[in-house]
Structure 1
Amino acid sequence: MTSVPQHNYWGYTSPPGTPTVYSLTNSGSIRVLWALEELVGQSVLESYNLKSFERSKTTHAAPEAMKEGFRLGKSPTLTVSPANAPDEPPTSFAEGRLILQFLADYYAKGLWDSETPQDRARDIFFQEFAGTTVSTLTSLTLTMDVIPEATPWPLKPLLKLLFVPLMSVFKGKLVEPFEFLEDTLSDEKPWFGGSKLGLADFCMIFPLDTCVARKYFDAAKYPKVNRWLKTVHELPAYQRAVKKMGEYNGVKA
């Protein structure tokens, strides 16, 4: 039986060195790229390496080369060797939320630490809420939306009759989460992490950006969430992350 290398665990006493990110266009890598750009912009990380890959034009799947970083070829993946031993085989980190936690633990120097225990609990909750409730409903809605789009004639009209009503059902299920997010934000707590930017905000950006791009999100109904989106989109670190991704939500940077 082939042994599986340890991943998502830093087993060294020395700190990690310069990280490498495996990023796929139009993917949740935006969360990690934005976080890394924040670290570089705040001068707590000197630099990082980026290996960027494009999706297949026909299947939209990731290329086999993505498996260089992690055997499942997931995006994002982060690999890193010890700072004092850069030639050591790198440790792989997969799953966006866990990568963000690793960056917070080993690189951020308290930059994203919550100011109160209440904000800490809030940040943890919305990390999970973004990755399960919001992302899951967004993915289901998107799946029902794109299947007819990708289907050739003469099946396209038939599949539209089948999938458009299903898409509308899942789109409707996003209303309550959007209302909950709207009620959460305030002048005192403008971030999902609380009074300051937290890991929850990085986790939340991808599903909400997708909802905006696919017109599942009505900005007029959720002005506080829309203000949060506008604030994020105006951040230089976020803008640099989008450019480095190359193509995001179907728009080339």
Structure 2
Amino acid sequence: MITVHHLNNSRSQRVLWLLEELEVPYDLVRYQRDPRTMLAPPELKAVHPLGKAPVVVLDDGRVLAESGAILETLVEGFDQAGRLAPAPGTPAATRYRYWMHYAEGSAMPPLLLKLVFDRVEKGPMPFFVRPIARGIAGKARSSFIGPQLRTHLDFMEGELAKGPWFAGDEFSAADIQMSFPVEAARARGGLDETRPRLMDWLARIHARPAYAKAQARGGPSTPAS
């Protein structure tokens, strides 16, 4: 049976959701972030050298890391009906591949930067350093991070005008992959009702039974990193 090494409030929630969509049974090993640092516990390094989640161990003993690679491998191996990936060679397949890579390659970096600079500004430090650190953090957010977030949110909003799902007319694993950055943007990146297509997309993924099952099994998730 597949084993998923799952960290709370992390990208590994997407793997649980995909497996629920595929109706593939799996064992779940749960880990909790350090409440002070919000980092994964060192025990994960016994599973994979980077000590990050998600990590999946397949039936044949192969260890997979990186959520995009895990999702693609699971779809290729278990989606016999072709429900969660468009047919090869179609325009939808091109869009599917794009969003599978865009999620981490383009959407997540400005969200991660915002998280880092927010913590720099609010974190403990000597009083004489605090004005300098806050000034640097504020400047980074206003001059680079904020404009980047708005650019990406506008881009995603515009792309959903072409179809109800990221790859086109049908729900796919690309929507599962995109869930983490979009939910992170809703939590801390400025996504709100001014972008109604993204908000509607969020409502529709949250309404999927497999999404609810993954949340029930893995725990309620608010993207943390």
Paired residues of 2:111 and 2:189 also in contact (CA < 8 A): no
For residues 244 and 164 of structure 1, the distance between their equivalents in structure 2, rounded to whole angstroms, comes to 38
Whether 1:137 aligns to 2:115 is no
Unaligned stretches of 5+ residues in structure 1: 1-17, 83-89
The answer for the alignment partner of 2:56 in structure 1 is 78
Give the RMSD, CA atoms, in angstroms: 2.1
Give the unaligned 5+ runs of structure 2.
none
- Out of 157, 171, 179, the residue aligned to residue 205 of structure 1 is 179
Amino acid in the other structure paired with 1:117: T
Aligned to 1:231: 204
Corresponding residue for residue 124 of structure 1: 97
Alpha-carbon contact 1:22-1:52 (below 8 Å) kept: yes
Q: Distance in 1 between matches of 2:19 and 2:123?
A: 34
Q: Give the corresponding residue for 1:112.
A: 84
Number of aligned residue pairs: 220
* Distance apart, 1:156 and its partner CA: 4.8
* Displacement of 1:158: 4.6
Once the two structures are TM-superposed, the CA of residue 164 in structure 1 deviates from its matched residue by: 2.3
Is 1:170 the equivalent of 2:145?
Answer: yes
Say if 1:97 and 1:245 are closer, same or farther in 2 by CA, change over 3 A.
Answer: same
Shift of 1:140: 1.2
Secondary structure in 1 matching 2:201: helix
Partner in structure 1 of residue 164 of structure 2: 190
| TM-score in terms of structure 2 length | 0.89
Select the structure that is richer in helix.
2
Distance 1:153 1:229 in 2: 41
Where relative contact order (Cα < 8 A, 6+ residues apart) is larger, the structure is: 2
**Equivalence for 1:216:** 190
Structure 1 position 95 matched with structure 2 position 66: yes
Return the offset for 1:247: 4.8
The higher radius of gyration belongs to 1
For the 8 Å contact 2:184–2:223, the answer to whether it is kept is: no
Are the aligned partners of 1:69 and 1:78 in contact in 2 as well (CA < 8 Å)?
A: no
Q: Counterpart of 2:107 in 1: which secondary structure?
A: helix
Question: 1 CA distance for matches of 2:214 and 2:130?
Answer: 35
SS at structure 2 position matched to 1:55: coil
User: Which has the larger displacement, 28-37 or 158-167?
Assistant: 158-167
What is the SS of the residue equivalent to 2:169? Answer: coil
TM-score of the aligned structures, taking structure 1 as reference length: 0.80
2:38 is aligned with 1:67: no
Letter in 1 for 2:27: N
